[in-house]
Amino acid sequence: MLLHIPNVLSPDQVARMRQRLEAAEWTDGRETVGVQGAKVKHNLQLPDTSPLREELAREVLKALARHPVYHAATLPLRTLPPRFNRYEGGGEYGFHVDGAVMSLPNGEQLRSDISCTLFLAEPDNYEGGELVISDTYGEHEVKLPAGDLIVYPSSSLHRVMPVTRGARLAAFFWVQSLIRDDNRRRMLFELDTSIQTLTRTGADASAVLQLTGVYHNLLRQWSET
């Protein structure tokens, strides 16, 4: 499921975060990928050991925890704390698939079900930098307002186009969902969204209750913990 989630961060949060990132010390983004990824990755990244990265990651995670659409779409079990990258001067990341298993700071392992990019620069502040996601329906170009999030299956082939003017700033992270299968996760999200709409519009309470029961029983049957 490819989903645009708006307003994860407020304009004030984005402005403060961008100000901190503009003054940060960046390192070569290839330090956090394997041999194959290093061949096509040309960007800058906050070091994993950076106190600023830890601070900003906590702020992003708090914002995500308050966002009902994000939770409904991802059903997160584990989340790799966000990292931050910068593309400029022709920087790009060629087509690749994200690693299937990643290490969390506490030593546990995370299966990457969902990839997430949180845009931190306004689209008119840089040229290029589109996130291109390839699936069975073709290629989708994504370039969102600052503060907005895109989520998509980690199994997708994707790339970041070269940035030819300005700088593209973003946070990125991965989620292991309670629901491994993307199709089941999408069905649960659509069912949850329909229940919320029916509730707001005053639909028959007994029908809404029945649908809610179906949602939770499917979640119970399909979830992995």
Q: Give the residue among 93, 92, 91, 111 at the shortest CA–CA distance from 101.
A: 111
**Residue 51, pLDDT score:** 96
- 182-222: same fold as 3-177? no
**Residue 57, pLDDT score:** 98
pLDDT digits (tens, 9 = 90+) for 196-212: 999 999 999 999 999 99
Residue 195: in which H helix or E strand, if any?
helix 182-200
* Alpha carbons 97 and 153: distance in angstroms, whole number: 10
Kindly list the domain boundaries of the chain, sorted by start residue: 3-177, 182-222
pLDDT digits (tens, 9 = 90+) for 80-130: 999 999 999 999 999 999 999 999 999 999 999 999 999 999 999 999 999
Of the pLDDT bands very low, low, confident and very high (cuts 50, 70, 90), residue 135 is: confident
CATH architecture type of domain 3-177: Sandwich (2.60)
* Alpha carbons 73 and 114: distance in angstroms, whole number: 10
pTM: 0.95
**Average pLDDT taken over every residue of the chain:** 95
CATH architecture type of domain 182-222: Irregular (4.10)
pLDDT digits (tens, 9 = 90+) for 73-84: 999 999 999 999
Q: Give the residue among 81, 79, 10 at the shortest CA–CA distance from 46.
A: 81
pLDDT digits (tens, 9 = 90+) for 5-46: 999 999 999 999 999 999 999 999 887 766 676 789 999 999
Q: What is the mean pLDDT of residues 55-80?
A: 97
Looking at the chain, the number of H-run helices and the number of E-run strands are 6, 16
**Residue 136, pLDDT score:** 83
